Structure 1
Amino acid sequence: MSATDAFLGSILRAALTWLGRKRLPQVDGQIRLPGLSDPIEILRDRWGVPHVYARSADDLFFAQGFVHAQDRLWQMELNRRTASGRLSELFGPLALDTDRAVRTFGFRRLGEADWQAMDGSFRAVFEAYTRGVNAFLTAPTSKMPIEFTLLGYKPEPWQPLDSVAFSRVMIWQLSHAWYGEIVRAQVHQAVGAAAAAELEIHYPTGSPIILPKGIEFNRLAEDGRLQAARGPFLQRGLGSNSWVLSGARTTTGTPFLCNDMHLALSLPSLWYEVHLCGGGLDVTGVSLPGVPLIMVGHNAHIAWGMTLAYTDCEDLFLEEFDPQDEQRYRAPGGWLEAEVIPDPIKVKGQADPHIEEVVITRHGPIISDVVGAPERRLAVQSMALRPSPAIRGWYQLNQAHDWDEFVEAMRLIEAPQLNVVYGDTRHNIGYWVTGKVPVRAKGDGMTPAPGWSGEYEWIGEVPFEEMPHALNPGRGWLVTTNERIVPDDYPHFLGNVWMNGFRGRRLSEIIQAADRLGPDDFCRMQMDVTCIPGQEFVDRLKGLRSPDPEVRAALDLLRAWDGKLTTETVGGTVYEVARYMLVRNLLEPGLGPDLALHVMGQGFHPLLMSANEFYGHDTVAMLRMLGDEDSWWVGQAGGRQAVLERSLREAVGWLRAHLGPDSAAWQWGRIHRAPFPHAMGLQKPLDRVFNRGPLPVGGDADTPCSTAMMPNDPYDNKAWAPGFRQIIDLGDLSRSQVLHVPGQSGQLGSRHYDDLAPLWSEGRLHPMLWTREQVEREIEGRLRLEPA
């Protein structure tokens, strides 16, 4: 960027920030609003967190809608437009492919089905929330966020369905994906069964290979709506950590529950912290702007946290369509009519709407055609694309008093598939895996199946009572980090692609090594950057000798490394760059560069998932190959000595070219940085106004402090990071701590726009204020909402 561009960007940022300050919401005094039964108090603490005190549940959720709109109205607008496939109305053709994909999956249609299935008492929650949002929109004192001004747009009134539809987006984003089915097929086609099995990506017994001659899985075409979808409108992550310890393992003698969720970083944060007190509820934690309730946190009796469970609840089916009638597809009993929905999408700057033809079979929506066989198309069947009472489950979770009520809430969360850890003030700890898991008539869903045969159908579900769970385990602790859930003798198939387990192994090591642990220890665990695969990689290099000075320089730095990926480490930087070069050098001779990236975890498109479920397994495969003299992949790469020397040489060359000749400057934090992108910062010069960062961060995807990179952008932290952390003290809830990043407010000009980012970088949390007395001591604003 030129000095002139930087100067102009700074001037624009200053001007828009000043204008943003003029539009900040009222947080002190009194506002009279229609739709209230009684007065409501909203006390904001110095971290910008509202503590809402109401007399009825109706007023309480009204107030949650109001404070969400005060601080996150622009984000809420994006959320509902994302869920409904209406981003193109604001962003024009840039967002059309995203809208096309969203219309295909039908989040709004799913929301409508969920809304129709709700009883009146639960609908009242969404209706009260909606009245609160609209009260802000129509209040004389309210000013719209600056993003609306820049786009020349005024938001429409909020509807309950906007909230329900966005909840369906989140269910989809947190559900297990189907990309591995295509990756397995592509690898098998490229290198054969033996080499694929060495990667542990193989056709499991009973999986079908039923394609006509001349059609290869590696020619499956992604539909244009998926291939080109882009932008920070939908983001996913793959990991998270949680652990819960009984009082026998803590310094206080009472349970602790800890959780850090790993999703793509953005501005504003995905999460919004709020404390809701009234109408029989007293619950605090993080919520989703646009949706009532608390998603993760604690009430007066229980606490909960969650990680992705990685159970396999999605399958791809190859559907055969009638060449004479494009709306008919083959089923076991003959031809069936597909449901065809012509869905108009308005596009800014275009006179006529784009008509998206959504095609739905008995398995689910068609997401792709097959190159070379126009009558064949791929449909996705997913538990996340069925009507579900999941949001009702969260409502019951907010209200739960004990384990039994917690379990009944878990029963309703039919999707997404989550590990939910539990602790209560009666000293119990536990865990349950949510989400329905299909029972398949044949096969295990690891590869696309022929939809016309009827052999691979879903014929039932794993009984809820038989899903993995535990209450008060004898060892006194539980850890979940997306690793394998059950042993081989578990009676049901849940899937076979988990995260690689290095994070869980490290956390378990810390717990097992200590007699008792306390809150300071838990903070250190959340920030732990010990890299187990990095240590194992260095161990594999014992005995490696080379006459090449570049290789010797790399070996010296690696052997002096302590195995921790701090922002200052040099040896850790050499490991990360060398690991990346080595994996590419091992995989590309057999797979080519594009498929190699997919095996390394690259997703098929940024809309649905920027990474696929094989992320991290390339490191496991690499370590195994280095210990196997007969590895086909090592042989293809020229042999162990040659591929290691080449990779280390390339790593040193890359570091010298990008960080300079002095190895002391090769610090991990210089190339591993966390950005916070804003939707308005997609284009210059607004990126300098709305975006924040990048901030140097330690760790990588395999450390407990999980800061993941993308295979096609292998060093910056652009995949996911622990954007939310909590430590719940179930012996004294007022001593609990929490943090999400970068700040509470989405309003440019607010001091809470990015004020939590320094705490996050330092691994610190802020108090999770619980008692009224605590809140009064840290008060920043006192607002009273009065019935008009």
Structure 2
Amino acid sequence: MKNLKKFLKISGIVLILLVIVVLIYANSLKPTYDGKISIKNLSQEVAVHFDEFGVPHINANNQEDAYVALGYLHAQERLWQMELIRRIAPGRLSEIFGKDLLKTDVFFKGLGIEEAASTTIATLDKSSKAYILTQKYLDGINQFIEEGSTPIEFTLVGVKKEKYTIKDVYNVFGYMAFSFAVAHKTDPLLTEIKEKLGDAYLNELMNSYNENLTIIPTEINPIKANLSVAVNDIMKTLPVSTFIGSNSWVIGAEKTKNGKVIFANDPHIGFSQPSVWYQNHIKTPDFEIYGFNIALMPFPLLGHNKKLAYGLTMLANDDLNFYTEENNPKNDNEYKTPIGFQKYKLRTKTIKIKDNPDTTFVVKVSKHGPIMNGLVEHIQDEKPIAMYWLYTQLENKTLDVAYGMSHSKSLSEFKNAAEKIHAPGLNVMYSDADNNIAWFASAKLYQLREGLSSKMYLNGASGEDEILEILPFEENPQAINPSQHFVFSANNQPDSVRGKLYPGYYQPEDRAKRIVSLLKDKNDFTKQDVAKMLFDVTSSTTPEISKYLLKNINKSNLSIAEKTAFSILEKWDGNHLKNAVAPTIYNRFLYEFLAATYQDELGESFELFLNSQLQDQVLVSQINHENSVWWDDITTKNIKETRSIIIEESFKNAISFLENQLGKNVESWKWERVISVEHEHPIGKAGGMLRKLFNVGPFQTIGGNEVINNQIFKLDSTGIYKITAGPSTRRVIDFSDIENSLSILPTGQSGNLFSKHYKDQAEKYLNGAFIKMALNAEEIKKMKNVLILVPEK
């Protein structure tokens, strides 16, 4: 008994000591929010006041010092995120995660982002303010690497910290640009449909692009006086967020209660932990910006101050084309051109793989870009397929764009910065204190010969499918102070260019139609009204789509449960609230309908089509096309299915599935039972205790695909909807109360597991609440946590 007591006493002491050690270690990894830190390369002291959610308000006597501080602070919260995102474009994820990421590394390493970065950096003006401040920002990051604590992820994975260079910044630009692109998912699919199924199948899809549109109109008025499949699979493996879509609208002074402009923006990006944006506020005697920065981006893509506000959505124009090349029969290292055979450029690439030998491969590059055969294993074509991407083909001024937008003092200056965007294409939204509002479709738009579709593989050998012209920016769709007194964007079709709708991979009209319906007739908007709009979960189109489908069902053939479900859909107003039953029925019905319509023809490509922009765009047209070639199930012999047969069987199959999944009581099939959201950390994906430690969630939520509060999930056979993306921040900026504008992040400001700001915004985000973006100097000075950065002697 004495020995047992002694053992328990010793065990208790050991356990207490272990807990103390763990607590000391954890405490050593926390970000520093108060006190003093000595920093090299500062000319003067910098004061940083942190608000209650960890947002730093950086007050410096010059911009150079401010950006050193920003780099240091950004790194102490997000160094692991920086490490991952800088590794994507140069193909360095396998160094951390091993051979499971090799396909991803091979793909990205072959795209030419590194080479484009090197070319751009070689020509940068080293005396420009943008370059100098970028180097200061990097200097701040590297000082934290030298002197700050090592994030726990580095220790768990076994990665050594490395200093950052401007090459890392441009590699992030490249990754961001590619994640916005859509053509790499859609063009190969459309070409496959044409080659395997024929023109009849393809034409039905292509002809629906100009139907059911809410178009962003072009209108330019005077400026007001200024008084002051395979790639899809690869993208799934990425350990950081991908850029997807967004909403934004700007309400003119004529339509607001207080007579000043109100700005709203919520970029839709893949959910992850940490969330993508790092919030910060910089103020110097000659400059101020409250910004949202991605990792390794010194200048914010979203920002505002007392004079202006700006944000963005994805334009979704077609900036990526595939060309089929023709090899020299006598020499595979040459390809055909109109002036004879030319040699491919050969790039030898080496990838380091954790716990495995290095691997080396060669990328062939034609004048159109890298040959994708071999980079993407699903490409089985005999002919080489080159990827022509405007991002790597044209001059890159992304750093100047981000600097110019954040440092603009007027609409004219801002427009000059937006004009430099080449790829990815962006809807750039603007407002200012002088009541100017504007939207610019910012991209290098181009023209091909008449009748040529950029959505199909182009002929690289003929010379007839080349880009004929890059259009001048003034011809891009845009609106300045339009007569409707608002501008908007929801990744939908922009207005005509040279008399025709410009091709792209635009989202269907759902969100745009809802935004316009809420904006057009109201003329007394307040900040609270706009905040409520950002959390809106009513679809403007799904009730109509439901009615189109239900028209093809004979109610006399339905069971009691089927009739109940029919009635619920028939009366649905489109809301996606937790207790709604209709969205549960609709989404299963939609899946069954799409599978019955397309899966027999598309086979393995059905999953890619199912969740593509292409499917979303053609859905209404397909339902209303009575004699579509897609209705017939090619796997059934001697039977020709019709629209009504396909739709009625799909409905019955959906109800049968839901009865098995959720029970016989239709009224209990609430949306909250099948939809959830979890913000995954790359290490939390391993599951178990790591999931509980690093991930945020899972949570029940409201919303769904293509409502304003866009909670994006993939349709599949499971009937469970796990949200993978949505609003990466919500912002409302009211120029009648600029010092009390609103924002929210999905989880928190910090990516540091031991920070109190790791997930302290999560509940507010789920409930549609906001936090204040403080600009008032006196209020900021009263904040409790103050960190002083002093020049190192």
Give the whole-Å Cα distance in 2 for the aligned partners of 1:18 and 1:565: 46
Instruction: Find the partner of 1:551 among 542, 558, 562.
Output: 562
Q: Compared with structure 1, are the counterparts of its residues 56 and 237 closer, same or farther at alpha carbon in structure 2 (3 Å cutoff)?
A: closer
Contact 1:20/1:747 (8 A) holds in 2: no
Which secondary structure state, in structure 1, belongs to the residue aligned with residue 659 of structure 2? Answer: helix
Confirm whether residue 694 of structure 1 aligns to residue 698 of structure 2.
yes
* Distance of 2:736 and 2:165 partners within structure 1: 40
- State which of 84, 89, 95 in structure 1 corresponds to 2:95: 89
Q: Deviations over 1:529-578 (max 9, x none)?
A: 11223211332325741333142232133234332111211122111111
- Partner of 1:508, secondary structure, is helix
Give the deviation of 1:54 after TM superposition: 1.1
1:269 corresponds, among 264, 271, 275, to 275
The Cα offsets for residues 93-130 of structure 1, whole Å up to 9 and x where unpaired, read as: 12212211111113222222222221122321221111
Q: Return the offset for 1:371.
A: 8.7
Task: Indicate whether 1:581 and 2:592 are aligned.
Answer: yes
Separation (CA, whole Å) in 2 of partners of 1:349 and 1:80 = 21
Are the equivalent residues in 2 in contact too, given 1:483–1:500 (CA < 8 A)?
A: yes
**Residue of structure 1 equivalent to 2:521:** 513
Preserved CA contact (<8 Å) 2:241 2:276: no
Offset at residue 17 of structure 1 (A): 8.8
- 1:660 is matched with which residue: 653, 658, 663? 663
Contact 1:669 1:698 in 2 (8 A): yes
- What is the alpha-carbon distance in structure 1 between the residues aligned to residue 209 and residue 74 of structure 2? 48
Are the counterparts in 1 of residues 31 and 755 from structure 2 also a CA contact under 8 Å?
Answer: no
> For residue 15 of structure 2, what is the aligned residue in structure 1?
none
The one-letter code matched in structure 2 to 1:597 is E
Change (3 A) 1:367 1:203: farther
Equivalents in 2 of 1:770, 1:261: separation in Å? 22
Give yes or no for contact 1:231–1:679 (8 Å, CA) kept in 2.
no
Deviations 1:483-517 (A, max 9, x none): 11014x74466215321111110110111232321
- 2:490 alignment counterpart: 481
Q: Relative to structure 1, is the Cα distance of residues 14 and 718 closer, same or farther in structure 2, using a 3 angstrom cutoff?
A: farther
Say which of 527, 531, 536 aligns to 1:523: 531
Other-structure match for 1:724: 729
Instruction: Identify if the C-alpha distance between structure 1 residues 14 and 598 changes in structure 2 by more than 3 Å, giving closer, same or farther.
Output: farther
Shift in Å at residue 589 of structure 1? 3.4
How far the C-alpha of 1:316 sits from its partner, in A, is 0.4
- CA distance in 1 between counterparts of 2:63 and 2:414 reads 20
379, 399, 421: which one pairs with 1:391? Answer: 399
Question: Could you tell me which of 400, 407, 411 is aligned with 2:408?
Answer: 400
Structure 1: distance between partners of 2:74 and 2:779: 22
> What is residue 629 of structure 2 aligned with on the other side?
632
Q: Contact 1:499/1:615 (CA < 8 Å) preserved in 2?
A: no
Paired amino acid for 1:588: Q
Q: Is 1:309 matched with 2:315?
A: yes
Partner Cα distance (2:142, 2:764) in 1: 34
- Asked if the contact 1:440–1:459 (Cα under 8 Å) also holds between the matched residues in 2, the reply is yes
**TM-score using structure 2 length:** 0.88
Matches within 5 A, 1:164-563: 164-200=170-206, 230-233=236-239, 235-278=241-284, 280-350=286-356, 352-368=357-373, 376-386=383-393, 387-441=395-449, 443-487=452-496, 490-491=498-499, 494-540=502-548, 541-542=550-551, 544-549=554-559, 550-563=561-574
CA distance in 2, matches of 1:480, 1:284: 22
Q: Which amino acid aligns with 2:617?
A: H
Counterparts of 1:702-713 in structure 2, within 5 Å, are 702-712=706-716
Counterpart of 1:732, as a letter, is D
Give the Cα separation in 2 of the matches to 1:641 and 1:771: 62
Q: In 2, distance between residues paired with 1:417 and 1:187?
A: 27
Comparing 299-308 and 393-402, the one that deviates more? 299-308
The answer for the alignment partner of 2:757 in structure 1 is 752
Q: Can you list the C-alpha shifts for 1:141-199, whole angstroms capped at 9, x where unaligned?
A: x2111111112232012222212221222122224433322222222334433343333
Which sits farther off after the overlay, 278-287 or 59-68? 278-287
Structure 2: distance between partners of 1:385 and 1:418: 17
Output the CA distance in 1 between the equivalents of 2:191 and 2:683: 38
CA contact (8 A) 2:232 2:608 kept: no
Matched residue SS, 1:736: strand
Q: State the alpha-carbon separation in 2 of the partners of residues 591 and 784 from structure 1.
A: 60
Is 341-350 or 583-592 further displaced after alignment? 583-592
Larger CA deviation: 671-680 vs 545-554: 545-554
Q: Does the residue aligned with 2:729 lie in a helix, a strand or coil?
A: strand
> Structure 2 vs 1, CA of residues 492 and 39 (structure 1 numbering), >3 Å: closer, same or farther?
farther
Separation in 1 of the partners of 2:387 and 2:449? 17
SS in 2 for 1:277: strand
- Output the CA distance in 2 between the equivalents of 1:768 and 1:228: 37
How many percent identity over aligned positions?
27
Q: Deviations over 1:300-321 (max 9, x none)?
A: 3211111111211111000112
Aligned to 2:757, what secondary structure does the other structure show? coil
Counterpart for residue 606 of structure 2: 596
1:513 partner SS? coil
Give the equivalent residue in structure 1 for 2:744.
Answer: 739
Matched, 1:783 2:788: yes
Q: Distance in 2 between matches of 1:597 and 1:697?
A: 25
Instruction: Write the distance in 1 (CA, Å) between the matches of 2:620 and 2:719.
Output: 17
State whether residues 574 and 652 of structure 1, in contact with CA within 8 Å, keep that contact through their aligned partners in structure 2.
Answer: yes
Question: Helix, strand or coil for the counterpart of 1:679?
Answer: coil
Task: Tell me the equivalent position of 2:13.
Answer: none
Q: Normalised by the size of structure 1, how large is the TM-score? A: 0.89
**Runs (5+) with no aligned partner, structure 1:** 1-11, 205-221, 602-611
Aligned with residue 76 of structure 2, among 59, 63, 70: 70
Q: Residues 144, 453 of structure 1: CA spacing in aligned structure 2 closer, same or farther, 3 A cutoff?
A: same
The CA distance in 2 between the partners of 1:428 and 1:362, in whole Å, is: 43
Q: CA RMSD in A?
A: 2.6
The residue aligned with 1:564 is: 575
What's 2:51 paired with?
45
**Which deviates the most, 665-674 or 283-292?**
665-674
Separation (CA, whole Å) in 2 of partners of 1:450 and 1:651 = 44
- Residue identity matched to 2:529: D
Runs of 5+ consecutive residues of structure 2 not aligned to the other structure: 1-17, 211-228, 634-639
Which residue identity lines up with residue 686 of structure 2 in the other structure? Q
Quick one: which amino acid aligns to residue 617 of structure 1? Q
Shift of 1:230: 4.8
Change over 3 Å in CA distance of 1:295–1:107 after alignment to 2:
same
What residue is the counterpart of 1:218 in the other structure?
none
The whole-number CA distance in structure 2 between the counterparts of 1:576 and 1:59 is 53
Amino acid at match of 2:642: G
Whether the 8 Å contact between 1:85 and 1:100 is mirrored in structure 2 is yes
Aligned to 2:222: none
SS for the counterpart of 2:403 is: helix
| Deviation (angstroms), 1:430 | 0.8
Q: Is this contact kept in 2: 1:368–1:377, CA < 8 A? A: yes
Q: Deviations over 1:319-366 (max 9, x none)?
A: 11234322211111111111111111111112x311131221100111
Secondary structure at the aligned position of 2:754 is classed as coil
Distance in 2 of aligned mates of 1:709 and 1:358: 35
Deviation at 1:416, TM superposition (A): 1.6
Q: SS of the residue aligned with 2:541?
A: helix
Call closer, same or farther: CA 1:229–1:643 in 2, change over 3 Å.
closer
Q: CA offsets per residue over residues 407-444 of structure 1, 9 Å max, x none?
A: 11012212220111110111111111111112224513
User: Match for 2:112: what amino acid?
Assistant: G
